[in-house]
Chains A and B, each alone.
Chain A
Amino acid sequence: MEVRDKKMLAAAFLLVLLVGCRRQGPSPAVQGAGPIHGGEVVVALAQDLSSFNEYTGFSESTETLILDLLFPSLLVEQPDYQLHPPSFAPNLAKAWEFSEDNRTLTLYLRDNARWSDGRPVTAEDVAFTFRVQKDRRLGWHGLEIKDFIEAVEVVSPTVVRFRYSRVYPYQLMDANDGHIVPAHVWGEVPLEEWPHTDFSKLLVTSGPFRVATHLPNQTLVLARDPNYWDQPKPYLDRVVFRILPDVSQQLAQLFAGQVDLVLMVPPREAASVKQDPKLELVEIPSRVWGYVGWNNRRPPLNDRRVRRALSLAINRKALVETVYWGYARLANGPIPSTMWAYNRNLPVLPYDPQQAQALLDAAGVRDMNGDGVREWQGKPFTIELLYPGVNPLRAQAAVLIQADLAKVGVAVRPTPMEFTAMMARQEAGNFDAVLSAWEEATKVDLTSLWVTPSPTTGSYNFIGYSNPEVDHLAAQAREEADLAKVKLFLDRAQELIVEDQPVTFLYEGIQLVGISRRIKGADINPSSVFFNLPEWYVVP
């Protein structure tokens, strides 16, 4: 997943805008007796949600962020994946249990959950949602998540049962994926009509907030839903999403107090947010990690000595400090260090140009004609490094990598590309190296990225990495139910991947959220910025 930052048109003129907008005011240090009802929070969003129905195609992550507030999920995934696979807290389901053989999950729904039209949320809605998710005519992007769930049965209006075809560690997570939608309203529309239906006209929701007004690509106003089951929450009267595609406008309005929350502050602006007494900068360790992906099929990059040499020759620490202004951490392996599955004993690859030179020599990539550039089979060893042109951080990183590798006699040609075109070249295997990023899911699985690609199942392993031992370990980790054993398999696989250096691991991302200090009670964590939005309140 590429972290796109497409609206940087006026980036150079950010300062022009910001100079005038920073009004200094007294910090609202009013710490009252606790939560107060009322008020609103204004959130800047780079793009609007494209549909209120997530099941008719592919939906972006900002869309999920909003749908979380409007449609209930059975359970809430907790941000505790540092210690173990994420646990779950009750939500629409107040309790759940697995059968003896672990093949049946019974969920008990709360009886006071209501749709915004007053009708109760029932087991029928859950079963209807499952039918929608599995329907191949609709093209929900998450359909494969439900592969091992065979059936969802209504036992009573408040009891629903999931039947699985196999036992595995992520059964609860897979049952929970996707929001519950209203059967009594959306069920009236035949499924084949769904792709042509405007669901903004069928907005029966059930969450802490409901849609008050929506001007597409402008403003989405959510108002407190008096039917919400967890009274007296939510405390806020309104949450207003303002669509601001330009990041400098987002920041200018944050500084001017017109916006209370910016989801992604660019690293170079972090200091000014921090200095503003009215604002707070929240750093969330994300599961995004950046890398240089080498084409493991193309000689001499198919030689792991060469890939290791390139990793040793890049001053990764300096790169992370320079490009991300310190708001990122050095990445070391395929699983972010913030996750339970990370192998804490992985060796850290140093910056060592000398060793890199020796490795390149040993691999037969030598400078024979003394022009300062090494040759491979008589031709200069030149690497074309692709990166998405709209992302200025990638452009900076590409230039630094070019400079570092030039020092060991490897010529790099940074090539900015349109994102989809770059992905197409990656998919076709027609590249030397790409500068990109990936976000690890909370459901840790090395299969899609690191297992030898098979033509039947599809793969994200575009770089063509292949190590039979890693394939085997990933399969074992997937099949095993005992977490301690899973961890052992994953630890070993990480060691092998780091030895092979199919990619050069660069950084682990930190999401920077700028938030007004008048907002209280916010628990902003890696699960979601709006993790506990019903508990937020504002002080005057």
Chain B
Amino acid sequence: MTGRLVRRLLASLLVVWAVATATFFLVSLAPGDLATKLTDPRIAPAARERLRQHYGLDRPLAKRYLAWLSGVVLGDFGDSFLYRRPVREVLAQALPNTLLLATVGLCLELILGVVLGLVQVRRPHGFWDRALSAFSLTAYALPTFLVAAGLIWLFAYRWPLFPPSHMTGLLAPADPWTTIKDRLWHLALPAITVGLTGCGAVARYLRGALLDEQAQTYILGALARGASRSRVVLVHALPNAALPLITLLGLSLPFLVSGALVIEVLFSWPGMGQVFYSAVTARDIPLIQAVTILVTAAVVVGNWLADVAYALADPRIRR
């Protein structure tokens, strides 16, 4: 057991290293660098070469890679070209914001999806099943920016229940209770956008799995023994049908750290998506690398957690 864990840990580290290395070379070999886009009348053309040297972009690729790798091994991600301060500090500002939005958003997605799925299987192919199928498929298919723009228009302007953007009001409130209320109030629309656009997938998976389970003989047995329908679905069928959801959630974990660019841009939410986008457009290699490592690690950990959760949910896997 310990041997398996150690092997798996090493394999995970290898995956993170491989992805980060590939990204490093891809970004470094992509045409242009930070200095390329500096065509500005205020800047002398000679400054471009000087800035290239300043950021070490004139050194051989292998040297740059080794310098970067040795830094990362020692826990130093370097300084961001764009934000001109340590990458660690840039991420420390953005990561909590993304974690907040993604956690609340994913919870909403899960709750909405499970409720939809359960309602649908009450009478398969009945009116509500078809109506909600149409709804969840539409929500799944609609582009995020459309859902976001629609929600903003409806609930920030038509009926101004929620603020259209940002994490706080103009002036930060003084006491902690008001701060929490203010934060939640601002969180509403972006979190609902995450929940609405994602709940369709959860509902579809759950509906399919629940229908499969209901065709099993143990369900028939439970019903024959006089268990109520809702008890059969919630206690007997749901835990078994939840397995694909675990995979789905495990795959969603990277979203907790990567953020969602479109939602962050539309709602002015200062999260990882925006940081990563600006890093890519500025060819900010240290920042791109740090985000890549973080997201890759989240993928690996997400898979791990999904495996562990599988084992907990399904005793057969434990053996």
Contacts and interface: CB of A to CB of B under 8 A. Distances in A.
A47 B33 CA distance: 21
B179 to A, nearest CB: 12
Interface string B43-77: 11111111100110000000000000000000000
B38 to A, nearest CB: 6
A71 B262 CA distance: 35
Contact of B44 (A50, A58, A144): A144
Contacts of B32: 420-421, 423-424, 427
Contact of B268 (A42, A249, A418): A249
Contacts of A418: 281
B265 A218 contact: no
A387 to B, nearest CB: 15
Contacts of B154: 20
B167 A218 contact: yes
B281 A419 contact: yes
Interface string B138-154: 00000001101110111
A58 B51 CA distance: 8
B262 A252 contact: no
Contacts of B33: 420, 424
B182 interface: no
A57 interface: yes
Given A219-B166, A244-B268, A424-B32, A47 B41 contact: no
B40 interface: yes
Contacts of A348: none
Contact of A50 (B38, B84, B167, B283): B84
A459 interface: yes
A19 B150 CA distance: 11
Interface in A193-244: 195-198, 213, 215-219, 221, 240, 242-244
A420 B31 contact: yes
A523 to B, nearest CB: 23
Interface in A416-455: 418-421, 423-425, 427-428, 438-441, 448
B42 A142 contact: yes
B224 interface: no
Please provide the 5 A-B residue pairs with the shortest distance between their CB atoms, ordered closest to farther: A424-B32, A217-B270, A139-B54, A458-B45, A144-B44
22 contacts: A1-B39, A9-B266, A10-B145, A10-B149, A50-B82, A50-B83, A50-B84, A57-B84, A139-B55, A142-B42, A143-B50, A144-B43, A144-B47, A198-B85, A198-B86, A215-B167, A218-B270, A242-B268, A421-B30, A423-B39, A424-B32, A439-B40
Interface of B: 30-34, 36-51, 54-55, 79, 81-86, 89, 93-94, 145-146, 148-150, 152-154, 157-158, 164-168, 170-172, 262, 265-266, 268, 270, 274, 278, 281, 283
Interface of A: 1-2, 6-7, 9-10, 13, 16-17, 19-21, 40, 42, 47, 50-51, 53, 56-58, 136, 139, 141-145, 195-198, 213, 215-219, 221, 240, 242-246, 248-249, 252-253, 256, 258, 418-421, 423-425, 427-428, 438-441, 448, 457-460
